[in-house]
Amino acid sequence: MGVSLYLKSMWNLLDMISIMLMIVIVPMHIARVSMDPSTGALAPLIAFEVVFVWFKTFFYALAFEPTGPVVHRVFQITYAVRAWAILLFMNMVSFGSALMVLYQYTFASQDFA
């Protein structure tokens, strides 16, 4: 019961994800694994960690009178526009797929200048 109650909170899940990312990032950074930006996975992991840390600051902002209602309103608005965001993401994926298909039919020897 204790673990399931703990995992129901979004803030606790965010904390767990952030801690797990740090457990993965630190050894990779020390071992210099994936430091090449073109093939490495370290930079995206660090970028996700930075985003999670900034989201964690929202939790602390809830405790203060001036910022608490603002954070609460941001989450209400986010919840209200989630259907629109899903449709936007689906449109972006569909146009991206279409452009990838069209890119297959371009030739490297074409001069556009």
Q: How confident is the model at residue 46 (pLDDT cuts 50, 70, 90)?
A: confident
Interval 4-32 mean pLDDT: 86
Interval 31-46 mean pLDDT: 74
For the record, the structure tokens of 62 come out as 């809830």
Q: How confident is the model at residue 15 (pLDDT cuts 50, 70, 90)?
A: confident
- Of 61, 34, 59, nearest to 46 (Cα)? 34
The domain locations on the chain are 2-103
User: pTM here?
Assistant: 0.58
> Which pLDDT does position 73 carry in this prediction?
93
For the record, the structure tokens of 7 come out as 């995992």
